[in-house]
Structure 1
Amino acid sequence: MFDTPSRETAGEAAMGTGPRPEPAPAQLRRGRTERQVVVDMHKRVALVHDRLTPLAARELNNLEVRRALEAEQIDWFSVPGLDDTASAVGVDARRRPQVLAALRARLSNSRGYIARPKAGMAPGDGAWDGSSNKTWERASGLSVVRAFWFRTTEDGHLTHGADTGCDIEFWEPEESLPGQGVDRLVAPRRNRASEHVFLGHEQIVVPGEQMTRLVGRAHESEVPPLRPTRTRPELDIPFPDEHPFPIDVVYTWVDGDDPAWQRRRAESRGEVFHAEAASLARYVSRDELKYSLRSVRMFMPWVRNIYIVTDQQIPHWWAAGDGRARVVDHREIFDDPSHLPTFNSHAIESRLHHIPGLSRHFVYFNDDMFIGRTLTPSAFFHPNGIAKFFPSPAQVPYGPPEPDEVPTSVAAKNNRRLIQERFGRTLVQKMKHVPYALNRDILAAIERDFPEEHRRTSASPVRSVSDLSIASSLHHYYSYYSGCSLPGDLRYGYFALDDPELEHKLELLLLRRDRDTFCLNDSASDPAEIEHQSQVLHRFLEAFYPVPSPYEKAAA
């Protein structure tokens, strides 16, 4: 995050003593190339960008609107709106004719569009051609208009439009006291800060991060800093709905096709490792981790650091990137060397809170979990730090653990016993297979309160009847009854790779992009189908996440 500028007045900025507007983000400077795309059954002209994210599209649309207003010397100020993927600027409603004329000139010459804003807009919602006379007849009576340009990737699979537009709000002049004359402007709709601003107050320059919850101003995040922007003092407050703490992401990952890893696993089981048999295995790496990282980078720009927990492995496509993501070996988090090597995900998850430098609040992913659309930190944590968890309709089977039960049910029953002993409550529901919001302090408390059970889980090289499922279940119940978490809700999709309707379901998901998060699970695939599944999955993931993350080697 950039150095927060002092609160210079807008006049100082205009004279050159304050921050000047910066150019468009370097990764999106390419945008004059056009291509035709189909959005919501309509053909649209879109600008092509090779590095496209919702936040970057938002910034470019905002910059275009600001330039249009400044070209006509129309005063504006940034507004912290309720829609985080769109931006908003306020203008004096008395300048409506000049504002609409400036917008019309800019949009007509650059294939832009306007729309009537509404909550949760899709890219193509209500798009009116900026070069049409009818468009501006419609706009003349609106208190808020949204200006935007369709922006797409080379392949056209990812397109942003109205969802990342810039709203122009016409703030109405009003007397705060009768007989005093116009001394304030009143907002045409709700925002996060104030319903009015006083005309006597000079504008100030603030970090762009203050205008969206997609990037927190209180800590460094994964994305480059946003441009400073000018606003009114009434809109420059520490918002009650922002998250003033850093949030990291943690993955556990293994390359099951790695001969060295296969040898370690065979030796731990007392088996003989045959390299020839391993090479003939029909396991095909789908690189889910690579695409899951792309999903985090694209749709969770507020994330600070990313940690990938592995067993002496590094993905073949891995590049160090900007230093915000790093690989963490098991040896860094297991304090007892006798517990290694381990091939038990429950054991690995029991040690996540020992990652050096990990933030107190973090989101834990398996590599088959993906973010499907833009999320703010509130998807996982309340602004006061309270975590969210996501119960499943599926229930934990009744009775004690049975040796022939699936490991997840065995661990859930062990969790249930500890919750009963500690809190006098009975754990009933399983959790959805979605990214887990975790608290490092709660994980430490579980290790402290149940030392023997925790140690047994950590020491089990493979899944055992004594295991706890700490990260995926026990943490959430312990945290809930400790007053540190609450149930939440995410729009979630689960796709089994052995489903005969998989290809059709993925096509619908790509078309609609209507899931907050989804899982692509391959727990029971027929080996004869793995190669076909991998081809289907690769096509889908490349189309859904076409923008590489900084953690990938450049394509040869």
Structure 2
Amino acid sequence: MPDPTSMNSAVHVYKRLVPQPVRSVAATTLPVGVRRKVKAQLARTLRRREARLHRRALRRVRRAGLGGSERRTTAPDGRIGHVHAGLTADLARRFDHDLVTQALDVAEIPWFAVPALDDRRICLAVDQRDKGAVRRVLRALLEEHTGYVVSVSPARNDTQDTPGSHMKAWKHYGKARVIRVTWLRTDPTENLWVGEDQGIEIEFWTVNTALATERLIGPRPNRVQRAVPSDAPGVEIGLDRLCGYSDIDGDLEPTITLEGFDVPRLEEIDFPVDAVLLWQHPTPWGEELLRAALRSLHQYAPWVDVVHVVAEAQPPAWLRAGERLTVLEARPGAQWLLHRLPDVAEHFLLLRPGAVLGRPVRPFDYFTPDGQSRPRRGPWNAQESFAPWSRAAYSATGRITAHGYAHGPQPHRAEIFARLAEAGPAPLQLPDGQLAPAVPGTHPLDGLVHHFAQVNGFAEPSGEASVALHAALPGIGTPLERLLVRRDTQQIQLFGLGTDEAHRTGGTQAVVDFLHRYFPVPSVFEEDHTSVPGTVGEAVGHR
């Protein structure tokens, strides 16, 4: 049943105010013109009342100074977006959360966070009886800081292109049990767009007095419980407990939830995860690969604790070493000795040149809560079965391999490297993927280490979207543009930027241009993190 304080048509109000017997008599005795005039007058009264309440809510929002961005712009689909320097998916999530919660506080509407089943989005709960006040303050907020609203339950997304300040954007609000408020945000280059897969969902909880203790009942299942005591105390909770994609050790303020909801998620990772990046090519395009890897971690994996750069060549001067970034010079072949890195965490991601993250990821995407790694399965063929790493894996474990491993960021454990070193298999020769004439098969180190870990119960291979491309691929611009438009691939591996063929055909230049557009936001690991190479040609250079 529609909420009495929410926006409804004159017909709904007419039915609530006039009893059914009176309506029946009026329908048979009053002329049609009189009935139409009464309903029209009632509709005008409601519109005036709604306009007055909207102006009041808008004044409150403006006095609170909610919203704000560098400027507004038009998204590729024609909707309104907001420009923010230094934008990341995690910061956009925090912007959205703070906007909605501050607006609810301004309207003096109680709320609490709920651990939703889909942890890409932050979910808030409010009392069903406050539904009308919620709509008014959110509509005022969306007028001040243009955004969009849709009904999630029941699902009605035909208003997703209508600004939330318009009345027709709220046409499904009366029956909605859950709504989603979304803002589109972009960086100053307008290459990175965030918000479509995020937003804030608001659930309308109802009061239940069937038992001795009054309870609040949620409109849909969540990660913990659907019914809570209405007098449950509120507690602070970090956004990382509500969303696995958030920064674990961030300095941002926590949010508020009820005591019963502050429990670990089933897939929550409570151990630190580092990242190890290899620096092997002291060339302009090599620097762009390293810069892109750092930016992908900054943009899509804010939960990474410390980044270790293992430099087999003179490291770039723009690296900003500090608490979160260490640089260690090493000889070629140091990949087999990563467990000896000073202060490296037991669990870490290994990114070789050309490996980047393509979308937001969680620690659970690469590790299980009990510490197992989750490497990505790759193709298996005759060439893989006769590869040196397959023979070495069988010699080290006595078990044959059954699949390869995909390229891209690799989850590893330091203990496995140490055990392999003790087992004594001779280190395999490691190819340089940036000089390979074509996309190679499973990397020998990954194949041996992951197989050894799986046999000993330290790895659980999984499958996620991965893409490997060679810079000399004819027409490489098409798959790169597809990756740029979709942005749904979890991990990407780029090969062959140092080959003569890639330089001759312009593939190296195309890849560098792609990286500039895919990762336009500088990371905290760059010394001069306010600038980007001026032209693509400057970044390509020669081998």
Smaller-chain TM-score bracket: 0.7 to 0.9
Of 166, 169, 172, 1:135 maps to 169
Partner of 1:287: 288
Q: How does 1:112-191 map onto structure 2 within 5 Å?
A: 112-117=147-152, 126-175=160-209, 177=211, 180=212, 183-191=214-222
1:108-133 deviation per Cα after TM superposition (whole angstroms, max 9, x unaligned): 23212112349xxx9x9944420222
Partner of 2:361: 375
The answer to whether the Cα contact below 8 Å between 1:286 and 1:534 also exists between their aligned partners in 2 is no
- Counterpart CA distance in 2 for 1:216 and 1:370 is 18
- Counterpart CA distance in 2 for 1:68 and 1:239 is 28
- Counterpart CA distance in 1 for 2:197 and 2:253 is 20
The answer to whether the Cα contact below 8 Å between 2:68 and 2:145 also exists between their aligned partners in 1 is no
What TM-score results when the alignment is normalised by the length of structure 1? 0.76
Of 521, 525, 539, 2:513 maps to 539
**Residues 399 and 44 (structure 1), Cα distance of their counterparts in 2 relative to 1, 3 Å cut:** closer
Q: How does 1:303-452 map onto structure 2 within 5 Å?
A: 303-320=304-321, 322-330=322-330, 341-342=331-332, 347-395=333-381, 397=383, 409-420=387-398, 425-449=399-423, 451=424
Matched, 1:31 2:57: no
Q: By how many angstroms is 1:214 displaced? A: 2.0
The answer to whether the Cα contact below 8 Å between 1:210 and 1:216 also exists between their aligned partners in 2 is no
Q: By how many angstroms is 1:302 displaced? A: 0.9
Q: By how many angstroms is 1:370 displaced? A: 1.0
The answer to whether the Cα contact below 8 Å between 1:284 and 1:531 also exists between their aligned partners in 2 is no
- Counterpart CA distance in 2 for 1:160 and 1:469 is 33
Of 108, 115, 128, 1:80 maps to 115
- Counterpart CA distance in 1 for 2:205 and 2:286 is 55
Identity between Structure 1 and Structure 2 (%): 27
Q: By how many angstroms is 1:396 displaced? A: 5.5
Q: Which moved more, 1:391-400 or 1:359-368?
A: 391-400
Q: Secondary structure at the match of 2:345?
A: coil
The answer to whether the Cα contact below 8 Å between 1:78 and 1:231 also exists between their aligned partners in 2 is yes
**Residues 398 and 487 (structure 1), Cα distance of their counterparts in 2 relative to 1, 3 Å cut:** closer
Of 233, 246, 263, 1:237 maps to 263
Q: Which has the bigger relative contact order, CA under 8 A and spacing at least 6?
A: 1
**Residues 285 and 238 (structure 1), Cα distance of their counterparts in 2 relative to 1, 3 Å cut:** closer
Letter in 2 for 1:351: L
Letter in 1 for 2:173: A
Of 256, 281, 285, 1:255 maps to 281
RMSD: 2.8
Matched, 1:487 2:461: yes
Letter in 2 for 1:482: N
Partner of 1:260: none
Partner of 1:204: 235
- Counterpart CA distance in 2 for 1:528 and 1:250 is 27
Q: Which moved more, 1:380-389 or 1:291-300?
A: 380-389
Letter in 2 for 1:233: E
The answer to whether the Cα contact below 8 Å between 2:192 and 2:518 also exists between their aligned partners in 1 is yes
The answer to whether the Cα contact below 8 Å between 1:349 and 1:470 also exists between their aligned partners in 2 is no
Partner of 1:280: none
Q: Secondary structure at the match of 1:389?
A: coil
Q: By how many angstroms is 1:312 displaced? A: 5.0
The answer to whether the Cα contact below 8 Å between 1:350 and 1:470 also exists between their aligned partners in 2 is no
**Residues 246 and 487 (structure 1), Cα distance of their counterparts in 2 relative to 1, 3 Å cut:** same
Matched, 1:550 2:536: no
Structure 1: which 5+ runs fail to align?
A: 1-23, 258-282, 331-340, 401-408, 459-467
**Residues 102 and 513 (structure 1), Cα distance of their counterparts in 2 relative to 1, 3 Å cut:** same
- Counterpart CA distance in 2 for 1:45 and 1:474 is 50
- Counterpart CA distance in 1 for 2:477 and 2:385 is 39
Q: By how many angstroms is 1:47 displaced? A: 1.0
**Residues 189 and 226 (structure 1), Cα distance of their counterparts in 2 relative to 1, 3 Å cut:** farther
1:456-486 deviation per Cα after TM superposition (whole angstroms, max 9, x unaligned): 879xxxxxxxxx9664111211111111211
Letter in 1 for 2:209: E
Structure whose CA Rg is larger:
2
- Counterpart CA distance in 2 for 1:157 and 1:225 is 27
Partner of 1:52: 87
Partner of 1:513: 487
The answer to whether the Cα contact below 8 Å between 2:159 and 2:169 also exists between their aligned partners in 1 is no
Q: By how many angstroms is 1:530 displaced? A: 4.8
Q: Which moved more, 1:74-83 or 1:127-136?
A: 127-136
Letter in 2 for 1:31: S
**Residues 286 and 506 (structure 1), Cα distance of their counterparts in 2 relative to 1, 3 Å cut:** farther
Letter in 2 for 1:411: W
Q: Secondary structure at the match of 1:313?
A: coil
Q: How does 1:78-117 map onto structure 2 within 5 Å?
A: 78-117=113-152
Structure 2: which 5+ runs fail to align?
A: 1-63, 431-441, 532-543
Q: By how many angstroms is 1:504 displaced? A: 1.2
Q: Secondary structure at the match of 2:457?
A: coil
Q: By how many angstroms is 1:241 displaced? A: 2.2
Letter in 2 for 1:453: A
Q: Secondary structure at the match of 2:175?
A: coil
The answer to whether the Cα contact below 8 Å between 1:395 and 1:428 also exists between their aligned partners in 2 is no
What TM-score results when the alignment is normalised by the length of structure 2? 0.77
Letter in 2 for 1:376: R
Q: By how many angstroms is 1:316 displaced? A: 3.6
- 4+ long deviations beyond 6 Å: none
- Counterpart CA distance in 2 for 1:48 and 1:216 is 22
- Counterpart CA distance in 2 for 1:65 and 1:191 is 20
Q: By how many angstroms is 1:327 displaced? A: 0.8
How many residue pairs are counted as aligned between the two chains?
453
